[in-house]
Amino acid sequence: MTRRQKYAVCLGANGERCAELVPKGTGRCRKHRAANDRRYVRIGDDVYRSKRWQGVRRTVLRDNPWCAWPDGCKELAVDVDHAIPVGETDDPYDVANLRGLCKHHHGVVTMREMRDRGAI
């Protein structure tokens, strides 16, 4: 092991443990990334369909009407994004973890997250 640890144990998925080593920051081995991706979709569906989400979403867009893209963006926010992805956060309704994004940037973030999870 080098001084700076470069590998971490796979986080597993759906309560399943896994001893496989993956590059640090990757989170999961291929198999568990796929399993976790299915879990994301399911959790996301539950959250986005809920009444509570509709209320939280409205609050975020009302308080922060402009796209929160870090590099700056002058578009109006139309989508609410989870900074910590919806499948990873303990509280998907925590406004501190939410930010409004314009359509374009929400697409960028979503694609990036899917790529990080190995979904695409």
Single-letter amino acid, residue 62: R
Site for Zn ion contains 33 (CB under 5 A): no
Distance CA 98, CA 23 (A): 28
| Residue of the chain from 27, 37, 40, 69 that contacts Zn ion (CB under 5 A) | 69
Distance CA 117, CA 16 (A): 17
Distance CA 27, CA 34 (A): 12
Q: Nearer Cβ to Zn ion, position 80 or 102?
A: 102
Distance CA 99, CA 106 (A): 10
Stretch near Zn ion under the rule CB under 5 A, chosen from 10-18, 34-42, 80-88, 112-120: 10-18
Task: Show the tokens assigned to 14.
Answer: 């759906």
Q: What does the DSSP 8-state code read for residue 80? A: E
Tell me the β-bridge partners of 98: 82
| Residue of the chain from 10, 60, 80, 98 that contacts Zn ion (CB under 5 A) | 10
Q: Nearer Cβ to Zn ion, position 18 or 95?
A: 18
The contact pattern for Zn ion, residues 72-101, with x = CB under 5 A and - = no contact, is: -x-x--------------------------
User: Which residues of this protein are in contact with Zn ion, per CB under 5 A?
Assistant: 10, 18, 20, 29, 32, 67, 69, 73, 75, 102, 105
